[in-house]
Amino acid sequence: MLGRYWYRHFAKKHFPALQESRLLYFASNDDSTEETESSNDENNTAENDILHITNEVNADINATQNDILDTLLTRESTKDRVHELRKRVQNLIKEIQTGKDPELQKVLNDIKSWHEGIEVKLFLIERLLAKQKEWDDGHLEPKGYIDAINTFLKQTEEDCTVSLEEDMQNISSEEWIKKPKEEREEIQRKVRNSMQRQKQGNILKGANILANAIEDELDSKDIDLSALLAKDHPQESNGATLIESIRSKISNIKLISIMDMVNAGKKYMEATKNAWTKRSERVSAALATQLSSTLRFLPLGNEVYAELSVLRESKNEEEKKQQKELMEQNNTPFQEAIRTLRQHQGNANKFNGALEYLAEHGWLYDFDPQSKTAFGISIPIPNGWTKTAHQEYLMRTLSTDSGSGQDSQKSRMENLIGTADAIEPIVELLEQELDNYNYWGAHTALDIAMRKGKIGESGTWITTVFLSHLRKNPDARKYIPIDIHDQLGNIGIVHPAWTPTFLKVNRKKLEAWQKTNNPERFEYGGILAKTIDIVEKDIRETFGSDKEIQKKFGPKMTLDRLVAKVLSAQTVSKDGKSVSIFASKYNQYRHTIMTSDTSIDAGKADDDFYGNVSDAHLIGLGGIRVILRTSTRGIFEHPTKANNYLANIFEIDRNLEEANLTEAQKNFRTDMQSKLNKYFEEEIAQHDATAKGWLTRTVSDKNPKKVGTSLNVVKEFLHRGMLSQYSYDKAFQKSEKSEAA
């Protein structure tokens, strides 16, 4: 047996510098943290239960975070305030930019940083509002809605959660969507009633109250500096320079007095004391729980053990929450969050706090709940947890948070894009989000570009930017999951601009290439990757380096966009030189698209999109049938889209001819004939009214030299070799005989 006061001697021996006689910690003997299951194990002697003493003396000191999320605003109640604030800051930036003092740039950076901080503070409430909208529209299942509310409550330090009745917890998203509208509305009513009973009737009420409470703080930060920039006040009366006056008035935190330093020292000492106290309480709770486990045979032993277990869990949760809140407050970027994980491998609570932070931001890219690893790091098990409890935490809590984080990234991107329908700003935002490791934002960028895009390379440009980032950034190759390729490809499947579908079709080859971590082997990532590689070489050989490209095509032109133009069937020409996807070297690529089974929806693209040459002109017979579908009376179902599509067929042919790309023009006409022959033979020959409509159908000639002229579609097809004489006769002979009669 151990001697009396053994722990004092032990602590003094191993911690002589501190001479701390209470640094004791019990840990489990086996690899798991399973609670003792048999009475024999529970009655083991103290020598077998006490295994080691931890060296957690150097625990991180984290000051109490009383102001976390204090400036969170709701979009509804603060929209006008934020708009006014943003306008003032922008006006101030303009005024400062006109100043002659070179140091004014420093002031400009201060103001920009403050402005960016205001924008960041809106993110969490916008995420909740997005979930609220999904719920109100009937698209979000009950558990997903309640999880979103609880996540918001945690992040706003509300000491409460909302629970859901058991019969609603198991409704999956697929089951929810399939339920009749009336049944969903009834369940929503029950959820509302349940929330009211839990005193959470209106989850957004707290956010509005919070917004009102910080109105004074926002006003104090919104300092009007225009007077300081007036020409008749180059210097303050006290002798201070203009730049010093501006910097001192931007924010009161820039002014530091002796008392500020004294108070800061006091705060630090208090925080140090609090951190040590909390650590001591956590370690003591773990120690007491482990000890009580061996004494459960005593009277009230089980009750004591249960109470101490709850206390231990409370301390674990407190430490985890503190770590996550610290990262939220600091707006910790992705790379730093990964470093934080590695720093806390020996502290399961802080590790889980960092892990949840990553999940809620949609950054849990490298996470395997089966092998219990995240970013190649083994996930530690908190003290007292069973293997089953830990697996449940990984499979449910973290996976759910990760899904919500992905949705938040998508919502954030949609909010950033706003009402923009031009592709240029969407591409700029996408590049920023990719640089910040917000990979799920690419999904929203592609979706909006494909829906609203008014240029032919809308979808191909987003695709080339995404793949270009993947090639240039080793972290992207390491972390971007195959699910993202899959979801991006799903957007392309139903769109006339079909190119992004290759991200799904070639996902296995792309994943295999990513694992090689070799950008030089990109061409092995599937047919699209191989074609992009060839197009890039073709463009560089034809037009030169990136600098030469910008000199020839303009400062905003990039290699990615030129590649996108080529992939979207546009002829890229400059100074008598041209590149086209209809060159023979791209026959395999075009043939792959033409022979792919497509199920597009012509309505997925804007009318203006069809007004441009696009990769919709590369799709096969299935796509042609949908875009040119007519009623029994021979009228197009989508007249504007169809007529624009037809006019651009002749535009492609004209561009190839003017570029003197004879071989490419011949390939284009051959491709069109293989599709149009079948279309007219199978779709038109059977309906006399439809055939008659086609014989008289005309479209505008887009040749700027022939403004106001029209082209007879069928005659032009026949004349240019896009429709064979045999197929023409088969489709229209009956109609022509009828007309003659």
512-544, pLDDT tens digit by residue? 999 998 999 999 999 999 999 999 999 999 999
pLDDT at residue 217 is higher than 80? no
Mean pLDDT of 250-274: 54
Q: Where are the alpha helices (DSSP H) in 576-661?
A: 587-594, 607-610, 621-627, 639-658
What are the pLDDT digits (tens) for 54-64? 333 333 333 33
- Indicate the range of 24-28, 205-209, 269-273 predicted with least confidence: 24-28
Please, which residues have CB within 8 angstroms of residue 101's CB and are 6 or more apart in sequence? 242, 243
Residue 734 or residue 707, greater confidence? 707
Percent of the chain scoring above 90 in pLDDT: 32
pLDDT of residue 654: 96
Within 13 Å and on the Cβ side, how many CA atoms surround 656?
Answer: 24
**At residue 739, does pLDDT exceed 80?**
no
Convert the pLDDT of each residue in 87-122 to its tens digit: 555 565 566 556 655 555 555 565 555 555 555 555
**43 vs 712, more confident:** 712
- pLDDT at position 17 is 38
DSSP string of 285-308? Answer: HHHHHHHHHHTTTSTTHHHHHHHH
**What single letter denotes the amino acid at residue 27?**
A
Q: Contact, 659 vs 574, CB < 8 A?
A: no
Q: Specify whether the CB–CB gap between 62 and 208 falls below 8 A.
A: no
pLDDT (0 to 100) of residue 651: 96
CA separation for the pair 531, 563 (Å, rounded)? 10
pLDDT at site 290: 53
Band (218; pLDDT cuts 50, 70, 90): very low
For residue 222, name the pLDDT band (cuts at 50, 70, 90). very low
CB 531 within 8 A of CB 567: yes
Of 123, 148, 124, nearest to 134 by C-alpha is 148
Model confidence at 669, in pLDDT bands (50, 70, 90)?
A: very high
* CA angle centred on 213, ends 211 and 216, rounded to 5°: 100
Alpha-carbon gap, residue 614 to 602, rounded angstroms: 13
Decide if pLDDT at 216 tops 60: no
Calculate Rg over the CA atoms of the chain.
Answer: 33
- In this structure, the chain runs to a length of 741
The dihedral through the CA atoms of 61, 66, 67, 69 has a sign that is positive
Contacts within 8 Å (CB) and 24+ apart, 622-629 = 622/597, 622/598, 623/496, 623/498, 623/598, 624/675, 624/676, 624/679, 625/679, 625/683, 626/496, 626/600, 626/601, 626/602, 627/496, 627/600, 627/602, 628/679, 628/683, 629/602
Angle between helices 725-740 and 688-695 (to 10 degrees): 100
Average of per-residue pLDDT values in the chain: 75
Whether this model's pTM surpasses 0.85: no
pLDDT digits (tens, 9 = 90+) for 136-191: 777 788 888 888 888 777 766 556 778 888 778 888 877 877 788 788 888 888 88
The alpha carbon of 589 is separated from its chain's Cα centroid by a whole number of angstroms, namely 30
Side by side, the strands of the sheet bearing 373-374 are: 367-368, 373-374, 377-378
Kindly provide the residue ranges of all beta strands, DSSP E only, lying in 208-362, ordered along the sequence.
Answer: none
> Please, which residues bridge with residue 701 across strands?
none
Q: Give yes or no for residue 402 having a pLDDT over 80.
A: yes
pLDDT score, position 707: 80
Residue with the bigger pLDDT between 485 and 284: it is 485
Q: What pLDDT shows up at residue 57?
A: 32
